[in-house]
Amino acid sequence: MKNPSVTKLIHRLTPHRGLLILALLSAVVSISLTLLIPVLVGQAIDNIVAKGEVYFEAVVRIILYIAAAIVGVSSCQWLMNYLVNVISFRVVRDLRRDVFRKLNTVPLSYIDTHPHGDLISRVINDVDAVGDGLTQICLQLFSGVVTIIGTLIFMLAIDWRIAIVVFVLTPLSLFLAAFIGKLTHKRFTEQQLLQGDISSYVEEHVGNQRIVKAFSYEERACEDFEKLNQQLYDVGFKAQFAGALANPSTRFVNALVYAAVAIIGALTVISGGLSIGGLSCFLTYANQYTKPFNEVTGVLTQLQTGLAAAERVFAVLEAEDESPGNNKITDTENVCGNVEIRDVSFSYVPEKPLIRHFSLSVPSGCHVAIVGPTGCGKTTLINLLMRFYEVNEGSILLDGVDIRDMSRDALRRCYGMVLQDSWLFNGTIMENLRYGNENATDEEVIAAAKSAHAHSFIRKMPQGYDTEISEGGGNLSQGQKQLLCIARAMLTNPSVLILDEATSSIDTLTEIRVQKAFAKMMKGRTSFVVAHRLSTIKESDVILVLKDGNIIEQGSHETLLKQGGFYHTLYNSQFAHS
């Protein structure tokens, strides 16, 4: 059955057809000269009839021709290998670029439902495996096809009866290799999946090594890794062993063909139908004819690995993109920040409804706090406001416009967002802050840092704002990382600010300062604050109390306390012993 991944890879080769044609021409010249050498050798043998009957001039001339042919073969072979590698590297480059771009266009739900280590493995390991397999496919395709056609033509010209024997028997080795390949493909696919699982496991545990050590999980982590590693060993061994059977099996069949040609050819020579030089030439061609079959089976393991990896890579490329929306509105510079949520229902999984018939009207400049127990839908509401996920029913409006009518870029330019999990990348502090507004001047960046009370600790860093931050901000404290994220959000000067436990990792004094900075920045702007520490939301205009995806209470801090309801219980649970 035709493997769809092969068709997709061939499509990927189309933009490089110029180099492909040049590589094919190099293969044609190389193989043609290779096939010419046995003819010259046969002629040289026929010019050495017996002792005292050697035609030296003819033999010397033929040797010079052979030397020239060998030089031509070597040059063309080098050129073909070079061109094939260039094509392969370019396809790998384009594939890796397209997969990375794809990961930036798929819905957030796709990223959330796939282990991150596995996705990383597809971008790195699987694409490399595709490149290795593609190199072998091209090399075997070009040299193999030309060799088979060329040797068949030469053999038919020498003796068509022996050529028919070779033509009929040799493909048996290819059918045998195809049969083994079909049996082993499932194991190679499983091998690639397990490699993705191991990458995911390593990524999780290396990235969270503090937690691993804090809970003394080192031994158990190693034991769990050993189980995965052993599974990969078992599957990989079986796949490699089965794949390795193909080459010896086909070589055995081809050796039988070679022996049959030798016997039939010898009988033909005895009967006078073929010269000794012709038999020598024919045996060489029979060996050349079977060579492509042997070479294909010799790299069958690599080819199967490449095809299994290609399936995983194309699975990512064929994932559905984030829904484009109407994109009627792309300019949101004058957004005031009026947010209205109309009868919204949403669930991550259809059978588990989360938010049901949720409605809310937030006028511009209003400070809204969202509280409630874990899993009540607080962060989900933020995801819907940002269009990380689409609502199942109802609509969300910004200044009276359905956010689905806005381009995502335009919508998200309206928001400044600070999450509980701070994220920083490998680069300078200045570069990390400018991530929120790459056109900001140095003065604007420093002003934002001062507003977030990050300027003082930045000045104390070795190179100040030019200090390099390690991946994930590993050389900063959690509080420092969060202050930088807050400064980055301030730099965007948004119409709506979203804070998801944004001050959870900073000390009380700094938190008070940052809250004052937020109050100053958000004056006249809308803000949504997801909070677990209820002391941070006393001054909010409206506090929404969520439970099971519904607003069960709303009002100011004092009003909700007087009601003596669920908020009263939450608040007193935090401050009963204060």
- Fold of the domain spanning 4-317: ABC transporter transmembrane region fold (1.20.1560)
For helices 17-46 and 56-103, give the axis angle rounded to 10 degrees.
Answer: 160
| Count of Cβ atoms closer than 10 Å to residue 480 Cβ | 21
- What would be the CATH architecture of the domain defined by 422-493? 3-Layer(aba) Sandwich (3.40)
Instruction: Report the amino acid identity of residue 381.
Output: L
Is 231 exposed, middle or buried (CB count within 10 Å of its CB: 0-12, 13-18, 19+)? Answer: middle
pLDDT at 71: 92
Q: Give yes or no on whether 324-414+494-578 and 422-493 have one common fold.
A: yes
Number of residues in the chain: 578
Structure tokens at 186: 């499932």
Nearest to 283 by CA among 440, 155, 396: 155
Range with lowest mean pLDDT among 54-68, 86-100, 156-170: 156-170
Query: Which band of pLDDT confidence, cut at 50, 70 and 90, is reported for residue 181?
Result: low
| CA distance between the termini of the chain | 72
Cα-Cα-Cα-Cα torsion 259, 263, 264, 268, nearest 10 degrees, comes to 140
pLDDT at 577: 47
Higher pLDDT among residues 247 and 380, named by residue = 380
| Choice between 256 and 443, residue whose per-residue pLDDT is larger | 443
Tell me the per-residue pLDDT of 526-562, one tens digit each, with 9 for 90 and over. 888 887 666 667 778 888 888 876 778 888 888 888 8
Quick: pLDDT tens for 210-256: 677 766 777 888 888 888 888 888 887 877 777 677 667 777 777 77
Q: What does the pLDDT read at residue 294?
A: 66
Contacts of residue 430, defined as CB under 8 A and 6 or more positions apart, other chains included, come to: 442, 445, 465, 466
CB-CB contact of 533 with 546 (8 Å): no
From the number of C-beta atoms within 10 Å of its C-beta (0-12, 13-18, 19+), residue 226 rates as exposed
Least confident of 59-68, 157-166, 446-455: 157-166
Structure tokens at 525: 């702007």
Name the DSSP class of 441.
Answer: -
Parse the chain into domains and list their residue ranges: 4-317, 324-414+494-578, 422-493
186-195 burial by CB neighbour count: b if 16+ within 10 A, else e? ebbbbbbbbb
Rounded (10°) angle between helices 171-207 and 246-270: 160
**Contact at 8 Å (CB) between 239 and 194?**
no
Q: What integer pLDDT is reported at residue 215 of this predicted model?
A: 64
SS3 call for 402: strand
As a whole number, the mean pLDDT across the chain is: 79
Angstrom distance (rounded) from CA 476 to CA 458: 10
Instruction: Assign 250 to helix, strand or coil.
Output: helix
- Give the mean model confidence (pLDDT) for residues 124-148: 80
Q: How confident is the model at residue 33 (pLDDT cuts 50, 70, 90)?
A: confident
Under a CB-based contact definition with an 8 Å cutoff, are residues 44 and 281 in contact? no
365 SS3 class:
coil
Residue by residue, DSSP assigns 286-342 as HHHHHHHHHHHHHTHHHHHHHHHHHHHHHHHHTSPPPP-----B---TT----EEEE
Provide the percentage of residues in the chain whose pLDDT is more than 90: 1
Separation CA 105–CA 574 (nearest Å): 41
Structure tokens at 400: 């009276």
Asked if residue 63 has pLDDT above 70, the reply is yes
User: Are the C-beta atoms of 465 and 445 separated by less than 8 Å?
Assistant: yes
Which residues face 157 on adjacent strands?
Answer: none
CA distance 306 to 137: 10
CA distance 144 to 24: 11
CA–CA distance, 461 with 433 (Å, rounded to integer): 15
pLDDT of residue 578: 43
CATH code given to domain 324-414+494-578: 3.40.50.300
CA 155/CA 161 separation, integer angstroms: 9
pLDDT at 132: 83
Residues in CB range of 402: below 8 A, 6 or more apart: 395, 396
How many whole angstroms separate alpha carbon 453 and alpha carbon 152?
A: 80
Residue 340, φ and ψ in degrees, nearest 5: -130, 130
